[in-house]
Chains A and B, each alone.
Chain A
Amino acid sequence: MTCRQYKDLMMGYLDDELDNAQKRTFEKHIESCKDCAAELEQFKKLKNVTDSVKLAEPEDVLWEKYWSGVYNRFERGIGWLLMSIAGIALLIYGGFKAVEEMVKDPTVSAILKVVILAFIAGLAVLFVSILRERLYFWKKDRYKDVRR
């Protein structure tokens, strides 16, 4: 084994993750390798410092209210969903009514009616096109199930 391979054992030795045989192998190596022994000493010092750092425990009330914080997000999620659906429905209905009124209104010039209808038709074509493209790429995406 090379020193590089012993370095992997060194971490396990430091964190008490080695079995007895691995421990003996590593101890035997550091008896004869000054570099690895010195490095182990440095890592031990570092571990003493990191082990002495404790994250401050918050007050109990944080844990008592923790679930309600998660639960509130569920409620808000439902609220946003209902509001978005209703908003889109209102927008479509209002838009349809406005266009209907405009088409029926004899005072609005025919050119303006054609321009607005063309604008709406253009928007609809763009929307369908983007939707179809997204759907196509989503179906073809080989990595869609890969966790990132």
Chain B
Amino acid sequence: MKGGCGQEEALIERCRRGSRQAYEIIVRKYMKDAYFIALGLVGNREDALDLSQEAFFRAYNNISTLNSKWGFFPWFYQILRNLCFSHLRKRRVRQSCSLEQLAENGAAAFADDCAEPSAAIEQTELHKQLWQAIDRLDEKHREIIILRHFRNMSYEQMARALFCSKGTVTSRLYYARKSLKEILERQRGPQTR
């Protein structure tokens, strides 16, 4: 996820001149990150694929606004996250089809086109609880957990992607983990504390 390297700048320049071949190279480089981040945020494979591809499409259409010094990914990430959060807000996916409902409604509910964390993660009971807890975090906290734990991004990379300082990343990560820990403790009951 390194940004702003010479080769990438040259590719971005070619994209600005309308080269789809150059853009294909960029897409292939970042498609896994885009897909997995979207999957972490929306929790559904089909939506993650659709949203990440749509983000690449929109990024290409607006490539003239990209300052190549930033590097492609941090700029692209803004488009992707806005699309994912807007998608979540519109469909209220996680509210209308939460894991609790899935558990209540049984296996049939898993076929529904809704947030399906079980599809997103290889899970045990503990992982299921963790996903439920991540689900309850607010947007900023959820995304920092996804970037750190599911994409293994360094603080430097996260700071670039979120257009903030490393100090902000540290602080946000602290509060995100604190909230996550508290939610997990509430879910698991006082005996496990």
Contact = CB atoms under 8 A, between A and B. Distances in A.
A14 B25 CA distance: 35
B150 A55 contact: yes
Contacts of B20: 71, 74
A73 B131 CA distance: 32
A26 to B, nearest CB: 12
A43 to B, nearest CB: 6
B160 to A, nearest CB: 14
A53 B127 contact: yes
A42 B170 CA distance: 17
A66 interface: yes
A55 B36 contact: yes
Interface residues of B, number: 45
10 contacts: A8-B174, A12-B155, A12-B170, A49-B130, A52-B127, A66-B28, A66-B31, A67-B31, A74-B60, A77-B57
Interface string B34-63: 011001100001000100011011001100
Interface of B: 20, 24, 27-28, 31-32, 35-36, 39-40, 45, 49, 53-54, 56-57, 60-61, 78, 82, 119-123, 126-127, 130-131, 145, 148-150, 154-155, 163, 167, 170-171, 173-174, 177, 180-181, 184
Interface size class of A (residues with CB under 8 A): 20 to 34
Contact of B53 (A12, A56, A69): A69
Contact of B31 (A7, A11, A63): A63
A94 to B, nearest CB: 31
Contacts of A8: 167, 170-171, 174
Contacts of B32: 63
A17 interface: yes
Given A70-B57, A73-B57, A53 B149 contact: yes
A70 B36 contact: no
Given A11-B177, A49-B130, A50-B130, A55 B120 contact: yes
Given A15-B155, A71-B24, 5 more contacts: A17-B154, A43-B181, A54-B121, A54-B122, A77-B57
A23 to B, nearest CB: 14
A49 B150 contact: no
B181 A70 contact: no
Contacts of A53: 121-123, 127, 130-131, 149-150
Contact of B54 (A47, A54, A71, A73): A73
A112 interface: no
B60 to A, nearest CB: 7
A55 B53 contact: no
B155 A17 contact: yes
A7 B178 CA distance: 11
Nearest to A39: B178
Interface in A44-66: 46-47, 49-56, 58, 62-63, 66
